[in-house]
Structure 1
Amino acid sequence: MPNIKSAMAFDYGLRWIGCAIGQTITGSASALPALRAKDGIPRWEEIEALLKEWRPDVVVVGLPLNMDGSESEMCQRARKFGNRLHGRFGVRVEFSDERLSSFEARGQILEQEASQDFKAQGVDSLSACVILESWFREHSA
């Protein structure tokens, strides 16, 4: 991953968009507060503020592929979101398979908190962490 030091990930959803920031040196990610969306449309000024604050070298958007690897309607919407990020802000955007990220994030919350209140525990942003850390592993080889 030459020239990439930091990356931001988004777990796109219709009501919430999970966010995470991470570094290639450690290959780890930290959750940022999830952003509200209305029917999949984010508040672009909030995304712009995040991009200005963190200045990532690349933005990774999770693709919710079907378990057989085919694209779902949500996958198409996530691609559109990523393309808009690139078009509006000129950031480099990559996509990453996120099929099991929400499942893994829920498991982590259950392990740590013994709670099933996933929204209160930030499952969307934790999913973005899982997406980003998976992307780091895929691109470190």
Structure 2
Amino acid sequence: MPKTVLAFDFGLKRIGVAIGNTLVRQAQPLTVITAATNDAKFEAIAVLLKEWQPACCVVGLPSHPDGTEHEMTVRCRRFANQLNGRFGVPTVLVDERYSSAVIPQQRGETIDAEAAAIILQQYFNDYAES
């Protein structure tokens, strides 16, 4: 039975969201959350979780090229813990160190959803069970 997976590219201003399933294992950009407050961001996430009923969520985990953590690493871990704690959905962290290098440089919000799709595709390629 195919399971839906949602992925998040967490940022302080925007959160990119992508979707895929375990049968096709193909990620695609879904939306970008631009709410001003944390509560509003989590309300938007709650709507997506209710609509798509994912089996798990994937969160991109940034770090320095050598793997050491920085401020956004800590924030992304916290975000993943909040997703799991608030909604009870299993959450997986995926190394996103090189995901932005694959996206053509562009402006605008769509890049956040595309980054989430790259993170989710990496999850399907490297982490998900066949």
Scaled by the length of structure 1, the TM-score of the pair is 0.83
RMSD: 1.8
Indicate whether 1:24 and 2:22 are aligned: yes
Match of 2:54 in 1: 56
Structure 1 residue aligned with 2:97, among 82, 89, 99?
A: 99
Contact 1:4 1:58 in 2 (8 A): no
Scaled by the length of structure 2, the TM-score of the pair is 0.90
Aligned-residue offset at 1:32: 1.2
Indicate whether 1:119 and 2:117 are aligned: no
Runs of 4+ with >2 A deviation: none
Aligned-residue offset at 1:131: 0.2
5+ unaligned residues in a row in structure 1: which ranges? Answer: 111-115
What fraction of aligned residue pairs are identical, expressed as a percent? Answer: 42
Contact 1:102 1:123 in 2 (8 A): no
Residues 101-129 of structure 1 show CA distances to partners (whole Å, capped at 9, x for unaligned) of 12212x2xx6xxxxx3x215x00000000
Match of 1:128 in 2: 116
Aligned residues: 128
Q: Which amino acid aligns with 1:45?
A: E
Contact 1:13 1:37 in 2 (8 A): no
Contact 2:2 2:23 in 1 (8 A): no
Provide the C-alpha distance between the structure 1 equivalents of 2:114 and 2:101, rounded to a whole number of angstroms: 10
